[in-house]
Structure 1
Amino acid sequence: MKEQQFDTVVIGSGPGGEGAALTLSKGGKRVAVVEAHSEVGGGCTHWGTIPSKALRHNVRRMMEYNTNPLFHDVGAPKRLSFPRVLRFAQQVVNRQVGLRANYYSRNDIPVIHGRARFIDEHTLEVQGAEGKVVRLHAERFLIATGSRPYRPDGVPFDHPRVCDSDKVLSLAHTPRTIAIFGAGVIGCEYASIFRGLGVKVDLIDNRERLLTFLDNEISDALSYHLREQGVIIRHDESFTGVDAHDDHVRVHLDSGKQIKADILLWANGRSGNSEDMGLEALGIEPNSRGQLQVNENYQTAQAHIYAVGDVIGYPSLASAAFDQGRFAASHMLNGRCDYRLVQNIPTGIYTIPEISSVGSTEQELTAAKVPYEVGHAFFKDLARAQIAGQNAGMLKLLFHPETLELLGIHCFGDQAAEIVHIGQAIMAQPGEANTLMYFLTTTFNYPTMAEAYRVAALNGYNRLR
């Protein structure tokens, strides 16, 4: 069998693979991409970030319409079905696929569809459709195969009433009730989406509070608003079994509770896509969740085989994966990797309302014995939020009381994932440029949501008086 020769083969066309492939191609390298799915984009485009955020957007728009007093006299509240919002999400997915396929075409990067497996240190065998096999030889490889929902034993995922975050995207009806096991980012986002559609939601959490990596005040705010919307949150619960029937599913918890629902959505963890790739024979051992260990340059135990994105675990963000791919490619090209650019990356959580943060939390600063002060801007006091009817939420600034250095930015509410980038930009400035003074001395457009920075800065600065 004749082997195709490349400088680098990238396995996976999600954000990490795309970032690496484009960087290498623009650096003059001959690159190929292997993609197991029939279309490019990876899990981010087809099952994760894009469809879930498209779902959330339209559910939120419906909720805004139904709660706006201007429209209370024009008829009954509007209702959308889950399949209807899914159809819109698929339109967005299709546009993203076309856009990303064009990137590879414009940069002369061949995309080979099939499942890749190493047969030696420098050769991949790709099993394509209808049994077609292609062999690729390269000096370097980058694994960006992403992750999939974790499926533990004892959960009957083959039953139509039992879903994970991939399978739920093929749900053909709107359930009356749903039990969501796992209250991480995915579980909380889907709890918001389904509750917004009028579905009764039980959110089952095996921890004592939601999203423990968040600042406690933000986590508390999320819990309050989910409960206010009608979500039942059950903390400190562990799973013992599932009974799936023709007309319902019943979740058994270690506490003795039995949660009956139309649908179970299992959202408790993810596994890296590293199985059956021949990695073990090369001395690359995935951990129990299928994740690969890498060094600061994203190299695995084999220095010429790199890995980025969800398959290496934390932070498991599409934005971070794209940067990791670029930085790994820069190490291949130049022998160095500037990892500093992906420190203090923002988190975006698309619940209703949404959440975003960058930098340290109050509890982290307290544990590290770093003195800090707090500045708040509550959205209910901002003219732009009042105009938009988006009064729930706040911007929170953490800063050093002596140097005024910004230590953390935390936002909860409408447009949080956009608002946080202003603070991120200032935090990234060197020396004295990264202080509260920027917000105290800058004129913001009025009325805007960005004005929250001035309000929060004044609120915090006044605490020092």
Structure 2
Amino acid sequence: LREDSCWNEIVSSCIDLAGSSASDVRRQLNFVGVTYIEGFASFALPDTEDEDEDDDDDAPPNALCIATTNKEGETKTSTLRANKILIATGSSPFRPTGIPFDGKRIFDSDSINTLSYLPRSIAITGSGIIAIEFAKIFRNLGAEVTLIIRDNVPRNALMKIGLDKDISATLVADLVRGGIKIERGAQVASFDIPQNNMAAPIKITLEGRNGSDRPTGSKMELKVDSYLAAVGRQPNTQKLNLEKAGIELDE
């Protein structure tokens, strides 16, 4: 089979599995009597905070404004009140400035799921669990993988996110044993992406830092089919209007 045929089959299987899992969750919620609403929520917005108000002093104090859209594209807002509200809205990839994300050859840890081809080679920036997971996935699929980390010692980078020293060392050894190349003490300085030519490689210039294997500020060129930035995630709270709930953010 052609590589793209194999990759399309993998993507199709993942989509089917995700859809089946989501449907199963909905069935379980319905079975135990949990009301499921698909829409966007925020703590009472200024123009809706008085909507559906009543004079009942015993009404739950916390209000959410929920916007739902029907099949005809019409949006309806309603207010939901509760004594306690759990915020579990997930996260989105952190996108550093200077990286030309395009969803075709330059990806973050979400858009990589839309990859339409199996790259022969890929560079991944990051030293966390997500970066390592994708490094192992692509390596197991036969791609040449280069993991770019800023720390001089890969084990230390893993320890910074809470992994035990021995587990970190074992994990790094497993990556190297699996054929994943680790560019330590390095960061991406620039990208050269061929226009209208998916067959030509991306040229990534790496810059040495922290006096690693190469002198600080020294340059080297890396040629790959694709690039993934997996450098952390940020909470999906921007549109929740948290200040209305008296919640202060520390960053």
TM-score (norm 2): 0.75
Matches within 5 A, 1:112-123: 112-119=37-44, 122-123=62-63
SS in 2 for 1:233: strand
Percent identical across equivalent pairs?
32
Provide the C-alpha distance between the structure 2 equivalents of 1:159 and 1:139, rounded to a whole number of angstroms: 41
SS in 2 for 1:144: coil
Deviations 1:382-401 (A, max 9, x none): xxxxxxxxxxxxxxxxxxxx
Provide the C-alpha distance between the structure 2 equivalents of 1:227 and 1:201, rounded to a whole number of angstroms: 10
Opposite residue 164 of structure 1, the aligned amino acid is: D
Deviations 1:340-394 (A, max 9, x none): xxxxxxxxxxxxxxxxxxxxxxxxxxxxxxxxxxxxxxxxxxxxxxxxxxxxxxx
Opposite residue 82 of structure 1, the aligned amino acid is: W
Q: Quick check: 1:249 aligned with 2:174?
A: no
Count residues in correspondence.
212
Opposite residue 180 of structure 2, the aligned amino acid is: V
Question: What's 2:24 paired with?
Answer: 99
Question: What's 1:152 paired with?
Answer: 96
Provide the C-alpha distance between the structure 2 equivalents of 1:141 and 1:152, rounded to a whole number of angstroms: 32
Opposite residue 265 of structure 1, the aligned amino acid is: L
SS in 1 for 2:231: coil
Whichever structure has more helix as a proportion of its residues is: 1
Provide the C-alpha distance between the structure 1 equivalents of 2:182 and 2:235, rounded to a whole number of angstroms: 28
Q: Quick check: 1:266 aligned with 2:229?
A: yes
Deviations 1:310-343 (A, max 9, x none): xxxxxxxxxxxxxxxxxxxxxxxxxxxxxxxxxx
SS in 2 for 1:168: helix
Does the CA-based 8 Å contact 1:240-1:254 persist in structure 2?
yes
Opposite residue 15 of structure 2, the aligned amino acid is: Q
* Structure 2 unaligned residues grouped into runs of 5+: 50-60, 209-218
Does the CA-based 8 Å contact 1:206-1:237 persist in structure 2?
yes
SS in 1 for 2:237: coil
Opposite residue 195 of structure 1, the aligned amino acid is: R
Does the CA-based 8 Å contact 1:164-1:266 persist in structure 2?
yes
* Offset of residue 150 of structure 1: 1.1
* Offset of residue 186 of structure 1: 0.9
Farther-moved stretch of structure 1 (143-152 vs 203-212): 203-212
Provide the C-alpha distance between the structure 2 equivalents of 1:103 and 1:86, rounded to a whole number of angstroms: 26
* Offset of residue 172 of structure 1: 1.0
Opposite residue 153 of structure 1, the aligned amino acid is: T
Does the CA-based 8 Å contact 2:192-2:203 persist in structure 1?
yes
Does the CA-based 8 Å contact 1:227-1:233 persist in structure 2?
yes
Opposite residue 19 of structure 2, the aligned amino acid is: N
Provide the C-alpha distance between the structure 2 equivalents of 1:280 and 1:250, rounded to a whole number of angstroms: 44
- Match for 1:216 among 130, 140, 165? 165
Q: Quick check: 1:126 aligned with 2:126?
A: no
Opposite residue 114 of structure 1, the aligned amino acid is: G
SS in 2 for 1:128: strand
* Offset of residue 159 of structure 1: 4.6
SS in 2 for 1:219: helix
* Offset of residue 279 of structure 1: 0.5
Matches within 5 A, 1:72-111: 81-111=6-36
Does the CA-based 8 Å contact 2:62-2:245 persist in structure 1?
no
Q: Quick check: 1:233 aligned with 2:169?
A: no
* Offset of residue 182 of structure 1: 0.4
* Offset of residue 80 of structure 1: 8.0
Does the CA-based 8 Å contact 2:109-2:230 persist in structure 1?
yes
Farther-moved stretch of structure 1 (99-108 vs 267-276): 99-108
Q: Quick check: 1:206 aligned with 2:150?
A: yes
Does the CA-based 8 Å contact 1:206-1:236 persist in structure 2?
yes
Provide the C-alpha distance between the structure 2 equivalents of 1:193 and 1:219, rounded to a whole number of angstroms: 18
Opposite residue 171 of structure 1, the aligned amino acid is: L
Does the CA-based 8 Å contact 2:42-2:64 persist in structure 1?
yes
* Offset of residue 128 of structure 1: 2.0
Taking a change above 3 Å as real, the CA distance of residues 287 and 264 of structure 1, as seen in their structure-2 partners, is farther
Q: Quick check: 1:168 aligned with 2:112?
A: yes
Provide the C-alpha distance between the structure 1 equivalents of 2:27 and 2:82, rounded to a whole number of angstroms: 24
Taking a change above 3 Å as real, the CA distance of residues 223 and 163 of structure 1, as seen in their structure-2 partners, is same
Taking a change above 3 Å as real, the CA distance of residues 159 and 103 of structure 1, as seen in their structure-2 partners, is closer
* Structure 1 unaligned residues grouped into runs of 5+: 1-77, 289-465
Does the CA-based 8 Å contact 1:82-1:197 persist in structure 2?
no
Does the CA-based 8 Å contact 2:103-2:114 persist in structure 1?
no
Question: What's 1:430 paired with?
Answer: none
Provide the C-alpha distance between the structure 2 equivalents of 1:109 and 1:215, rounded to a whole number of angstroms: 39
SS in 1 for 2:85: strand
Question: What's 2:241 paired with?
Answer: 278
* Offset of residue 140 of structure 1: 2.0
Deviations 1:76-122 (A, max 9, x none): xx998333222222232222112210121112222111111111562
Taking a change above 3 Å as real, the CA distance of residues 224 and 178 of structure 1, as seen in their structure-2 partners, is same
